């Protein structure tokens, strides 16, 4: 540890060496993690500085997903964009061919009779004023909120509650629509939303470790191609800098650029 003194004369300590970072924008003074024996054992199966084909990476991730629960398989991409510029924000939706393996709780904010249509399509909750009141009181026990355009005036006032949780409906993600039944079916079938973070990274779950390798590979390709199609016209230089896959509790595996290039043709 290294002792430092700030402008106010207070002493604080930082690690002598930075932890592993996905990019240079993260703080080099983040406290280093102590990984479990299971994680360290899994890490030994991955060759340092080596990139793997999608099939090899999926096989490694499945092999190393040894937790007592069905771990998610995640994808993390570092993009060559500047999210501070509005015209370089990468966001959108993608329908994964085999879903995420997660049970998604859907709330539809709509007036009658659309609320009944939403429930018939598989929504967990649907209604209007009663759910506006519940959210105002702090209830947010859902994963996705879908709303019709005519209720966005009332729902928009709840931005301070829904915004930080990523629950505010948005036309660009297809969660503000008059066809609520279709939107519910798509979300339940595996439609997910993605958005670049402040550091230029995008991450999402693309399945479960229990999935067949072929299904994980197909979900990977669907997600990757969606990110390519969402490339901003103003983005300069290399768009996709790196792609990694990992399980919830396991180490990440880097995907070879040569394998990624095959999907760009």
The two three-digit tokens of residue 67, written as one number: 């937790």
Q: What is the overall mean pLDDT for the chain? A: 88
Which of 69, 102, 59 lies closest to 191 in space, CA to CA? 102
The whole-number pLDDT of residue 34 equals 72
Min mean pLDDT across 36-45, 73-82, 186-195, 218-227 is at: 36-45
Task: Tell me the β-bridge partners of 2.
Answer: 14
Q: Which helix (H) or strand (E) holds 227?
A: helix 213-229
51-100+192-261 belongs to which homologous superfamily?
Answer: Ribosomal protein L1/L10, rRNA-binding domain (3.30.190.20)
Domain 106-189 annotated CATH 2.40.30.10: no
DSSP code for 151: G
User: Per-residue pLDDT for 83 more than 80?
Assistant: yes
Considering the entire predicted model, what is its pTM?
A: 0.77
DSSP code for 52: B
Ranges of each domain in the chain: 51-100+192-261, 106-189
Could you give phi then psi for residue 25, rounded to 5 degrees?
-80, -15
The whole-number pLDDT of residue 29 equals 41
Task: Tell me the β-bridge partners of 242.
Answer: 78
Same fold flag, 51-100+192-261 and 106-189: no
How many Å apart are CA 219 and CA 105, to the nearest integer? 21
pLDDT in tens, 127-140: 999 999 999 999 99
Which of 207, 249, 212 lies closest to 41 in space, CA to CA? 249
The whole-number pLDDT of residue 108 equals 98
Give the pLDDT band of residue 27 (cuts 50, 70, 90): very low
Give the pLDDT band of residue 1 (cuts 50, 70, 90): very low
User: Per-residue pLDDT for 31 more than 80?
Assistant: no
The whole-number pLDDT of residue 13 equals 52
């Amino acid at each position: 540890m290294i002792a430092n003194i700030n402008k106010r004369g207070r002493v604080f300590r930082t690690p002598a060496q930075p932890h592993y970072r996905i990019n240079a924008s993260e703080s080099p003074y983040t406290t280093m993690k102590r990984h479990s024996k299971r994680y360290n054992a899994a890490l030994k199966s991955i060759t340092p500085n080596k990139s793997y084909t999608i099939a090899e990476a999926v096989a490694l991730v499945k092999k190393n997903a040894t937790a007592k629960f069905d771990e998610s398989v995640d994808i993390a991409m570092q993009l060559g964009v500047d999210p501070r510029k509005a015209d370089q924000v990468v966001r959108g939706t993608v329908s994964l061919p085999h879903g995420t393996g997660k049970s998604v709780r859907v709330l539809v904010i709509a007036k009658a009779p659309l609320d009944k249509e939403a429930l018939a399509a598989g929504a967990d909750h649907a209604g209007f004023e009663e759910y506006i009141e519940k959210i105002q009181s702090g209830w947010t026990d859902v994963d996705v909120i879908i709303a019709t355009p005519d209720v966005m005036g009332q729902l928009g006032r709840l931005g301070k509650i829904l915004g930080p949780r990523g629950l505010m409906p948005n036309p660009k993600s297809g969660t503000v629509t008059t066809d609520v039944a279709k939107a519910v079916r798509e979300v339940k079938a595996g439609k997910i939303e993605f958005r670049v973070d402040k550091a230029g990274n995008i991450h999402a779950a693309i399945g479960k470790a229990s999935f067949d390798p072929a299904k994980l590979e197909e979900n990977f390709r669907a997600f990757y191609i969606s990110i390519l199609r969402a490339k901003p016209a103003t983005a300069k230089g290399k768009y996709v800098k790196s792609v990694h896959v990992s399980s919830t509790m396991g180490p990440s595996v880097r995907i070879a650029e040569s394998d990624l290039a095959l999907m760009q043709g």
